[in-house]
Chain A
Amino acid sequence: MRRAELQLWGAVGLIGLVCLTWLAVAALLLWAVLDPQDWATVLGALGGRAGLLLFLWAMALIPVHAALNYLVNEYVRAPARLAEEARMRLESNDSRPVEAKGSKEIRQLTNVINDAIEQREALVKAMDERVSEAGRRTEQEKARLAALMSELTKSVVVCNLDGRILLYNNRARLQFKRLSRSGAVTGGNELMGLGRSIYAVLDRKLVGHALENVQRRLKRGAASPSAQFVTSAASGKLLRVQMTPVRAVDEQGQALADTMTGFVLLTENITDEMHADAEKNRLLGALTEGSRASLANTRAAIEILEDPAVDDELREKLLAVIREEIQGLSDRIGELQRSSSQALRSRWPLEDMLGSDLIDAAITRIESALPVRATLEGDIDTIWLKIESFSLLQGLVHLADRIHHHCKARWISLRLQEQNERALLDLVWTPDPDRDSEPEMNWENEAISAGEDRLAMTLMDVLERHGGDCWIEREEGADGTRCFFRLLLPLAAPQEELPATTFQRYEGRPEFYDFDLFQSDNRSRKLDDCRLRELSYTVFDTETTGLNPAGGDEIIQIGAVRIVNGKILAQECFDQLVDPKRPIPRASIPIHGITPDMVKDQPTIDEVLPAFHAFSEETVLVAHNAAFDMKCLEVKQDQTGVVFDQPVLDTLLLSALVQENQERHNLDDLAERFGLNILGRHTAIGDAMVTAEILLRLIPLLAERGIHTLGEALEASRKTWYARVKY
């Protein structure tokens, strides 16, 4: 029986007892006031009916119990239950209304509480909406920033004061790939990556000096201090670097005038520019000095010739000198014209543009300005042009306008091809059959008019600025005679473009920034004392020809991802097949899916291991069953001279530590227990990704067991049973 029931029965018993006592007192009073005869009469009347009296008394207790039960329900239990339910709603954020029970007053109270719950729910909803709206805005801003960064034609790298990279754009990634010594293997990822040191590329002293200059200017109150320097990277490429400060921000979001938290580097590969400059100088030098010498020789010869005393023999010699020098001068000018037309061209801001982009823009402009259909003819190879697109497009619209009006053409096709280190851009049309010949055309020398726009220059002016030319030709084809206006344009060197597939491996926009890295990190601390969640890791996996690395089995694939600041940097991965220079056992192919054809022509371990070493520099190595993977690396030490001496964590051992009651700790089981989807299991990169996810989930579980630092994790790992396994 519940306690409340007992209490209720207790109360009923008490009332019964009170009634009995009252009856006894009444009887006592009667006995006291009645004379003995009357008392005897009363006793005589009741005599033998005591049982009936007791029964009546007991029956009287039933309505008492019912009344009491009602009162307790209405005024005791109902408020208590209401209090419990209200507390539950309060603590669990449950927004369901509380059922109104009990007396009228309690029901009113319940309604008030339900109103409060409703209000709280509305407030929470509004708050959630505002938070998610703010989150959406932040995400949009982030996406915009990322998009902007990736579109910039300059390389942008943002570092904290320790020189750790916390943001970079696509261009920087490409540029650093070109600077990388092992770019073919690592894709430059060993140089450019979040949390990596910029000093792997740029001289620490040079950056330090620039930093000092910027800081000094900041202290002096300069509004936009910056420093510039030129440096040569390890690969011999020349970089022009501009440094600007990232100022510290106060609590109100205002930039502090003289405190820096990091710096922005705008880097530009000026190797080609420098070569072009050197060539320009050479040409100018040849022109000035060579011409001066020739002029000197000629002038001296002429002045001597003026002397009547000169004999015939000398006269002939001097005339030969003059002829030779004039010829030399003209040869020099000819050479200059041939080779320097690009280098010495006027300083128009010519930019590199993909030919297909220019054609697309031209088609759109022509079709919107004229009642003409414009189409692309043929396939455009990846032709890069060096042009000033605005005036060139105006010029093209001008030409299309003339073709339309003078030749009645309603369809103009554009084609672009490469010939003799020049680009040929043709506007092709079918001539008016009613005319015997085309009218006199001098369109290139008319002021450009494109729709409502009129320029002060002619198409020829524009082309001359490009070192180009133009003319009209006719061609006979299957469809009869066609005319085309040909424009000769300069080519640009192909741009650094990533294949589109680069970003398709992982969904979503790659993260090229992590502003949390602005916070001071723990690199100055002893590695063992560093907290697990703050460390940088290289999580890797190897695929091999077999399970006996010491017995001659070779690595055929290495896959790795880095974890920086608790985030997996999926876009900075290392994924490389290796030619093992030995057959791959047929039985192992179904496991890793790597066939002999796939590793043919791939780099050997001698090239891949140094690249992987550079990739994993300054990080803790992590692998699942690391003893095996480390053995694979270790047996190659003597051959490659590459030693991996950084600390190693093993997710197998860590899992055994935190899930000691589980029997199995293989990668599939762990992934299942943590609810992870495995993509590309048994490829090195796929397994490395899963291992990285598992590590991130193990770190908080380790913390619950008091394992916070790398030193503690290593020590605890050593004590597990699995640590005894050797390869």
Chain B
Amino acid sequence: MKKILIADDEPNIVISLEYLMKREGFEVLIARDGEEALALIEHEAPDLVLLDAMMPKKTGFDVLQAVRQKRSALKIIMLTAKGRDTDMEKGRALGADDYMVKPFSTRELVERVRRLLDQTESPSAS
């Protein structure tokens, strides 16, 4: 079973995302801040992270940067309320696999998660 880490300090979105990912048959891990997210990534080795950009202690961008510095190929989708082009650009530059601006469609999120996980299973296909 694939593991999805939901890193977001907003419990109201976490409820929905947790249900959504579990319904899709994933194992769900939850982190409430950037530091907790990094710890879970290291110890639980999730297959994909839904990473909120604005979190306490360490921002989503900090987490992303730390992960990519370790040359990890972990799939990361940035979720953010910031819709500025520069933030999107920054996320992509730091190595986010995808970037979704809130409010997003849950169906589209699931599709993107599936697509990224499929790539992990068949790396030659990309």
Q: What 4 new A-B contacts, CB under 8 Å, besides A296-B81, A300-B106?
A: A288-B81, A293-B81, A300-B13, A300-B17
Encode contact with B along A97-112: 1 for CB under 8 Å, 0 otherwise. 0000000000000000
With both chains docked as a complex, state the minimum distance between the C-beta of B15 and any C-beta of chain A, in angstroms: 6
Q: Are A324 and B12 in contact (CB under 8 A)?
A: yes
Residue of A nearest to B16 (CB): A300
Q: Are A304 and B10 in contact (CB under 8 A)?
A: no
Selected interface stretch from B36-44, B68-76, B96-104, B113-121: B96-104
A470 at the interface (CB under 8 A from B): no
**Chain B residues within 8 Å of A, Cβ to Cβ:** 10, 12-13, 15-17, 19-20, 23, 54, 79, 81-83, 101-107
* Bound CA span A608–B16, Å: 67
Q: Are A292 and B83 in contact (CB under 8 A)?
A: yes
Q: Are B82 and A303 in contact (CB under 8 A)?
A: no
* Bound CA span A288–B83, Å: 9
With both chains docked as a complex, state the minimum distance between the C-beta of B80 and any C-beta of chain A, in angstroms: 8
* Bound CA span A293–B101, Å: 9
Q: Are A301 and B103 in contact (CB under 8 A)?
A: no
Complex interface: chain B residues within 8 A of A307 (CB): 23
Complex interface: chain B residues within 8 A of A309 (CB): 23
* Bound CA span A318–B11, Å: 11
A289 at the interface (CB under 8 A from B): yes
A144 at the interface (CB under 8 A from B): no
With both chains docked as a complex, state the minimum distance between the C-beta of A670 and any C-beta of chain B, in angstroms: 72
Complex interface: chain B residues within 8 A of A295 (CB): 102-103
Q: Are A300 and B20 in contact (CB under 8 A)?
A: yes
What are 11 A-B pairs at a CB distance below 8 A? A290-B81, A292-B81, A293-B10, A295-B102, A298-B103, A301-B12, A304-B20, A314-B15, A318-B15, A321-B12, A321-B16
* Bound CA span A301–B20, Å: 10
Complex interface: chain B residues within 8 A of A604 (CB): none
Q: Are A297 and B81 in contact (CB under 8 A)?
A: no
User: Would A304 and B102 be within 8 Å (CB), given that A289-B82, A292-B83 are in contact?
Assistant: no
Residue of B nearest to A306 (CB): B106
User: Would A303 and B13 be within 8 Å (CB), given that A293-B81, A296-B81, A310-B19 are in contact?
Assistant: no
Residue of B nearest to A290 (CB): B81
Of A290, A296, A298, the residue contacting B104 (CB under 8 A) is A296
Residue of A nearest to B19 (CB): A304
User: Would A292 and B103 be within 8 Å (CB), given that A307-B23, A309-B23 are in contact?
Assistant: yes
A299 at the interface (CB under 8 A from B): yes
Q: Are B81 and A289 in contact (CB under 8 A)?
A: yes
**Chain A residues within 8 Å of B, Cβ to Cβ:** 288-290, 292-293, 295-301, 303-304, 307, 309-310, 314, 317-318, 321, 324-325
* Bound CA span A711–B102, Å: 77
* Bound CA span A627–B69, Å: 72
Q: Are A317 and B15 in contact (CB under 8 A)?
A: yes
Complex interface: chain B residues within 8 A of A292 (CB): 81-83, 101-103
Q: Are B105 and A314 in contact (CB under 8 A)?
A: no
Q: Are B16 and A304 in contact (CB under 8 A)?
A: yes
Q: Are A325 and B20 in contact (CB under 8 A)?
A: no
User: Would A303 and B107 be within 8 Å (CB), given that A288-B83, A289-B81, A292-B102 are in contact?
Assistant: yes
Complex interface: chain B residues within 8 A of A321 (CB): 12, 15-16
User: Would A297 and B105 be within 8 Å (CB), given that A304-B16, A310-B19 are in contact?
Assistant: no
* Bound CA span A310–B82, Å: 30
Residue of B nearest to A299 (CB): B103
Highest count of chain B CB atoms <10 Å: which of A296, A298, A299: A296
* Bound CA span A325–B16, Å: 13
Complex interface: chain A residues within 8 A of B103 (CB): 292, 295-300
With both chains docked as a complex, state the minimum distance between the C-beta of A207 and any C-beta of chain B, in angstroms: 32
Give 4 nearest A-B pairs by CB, closest first. Answer: A296-B102, A300-B16, A296-B103, A292-B81
Complex interface: chain B residues within 8 A of A314 (CB): 15, 19
* Bound CA span A292–B13, Å: 12
* Bound CA span A318–B103, Å: 16
* Bound CA span A303–B103, Å: 12
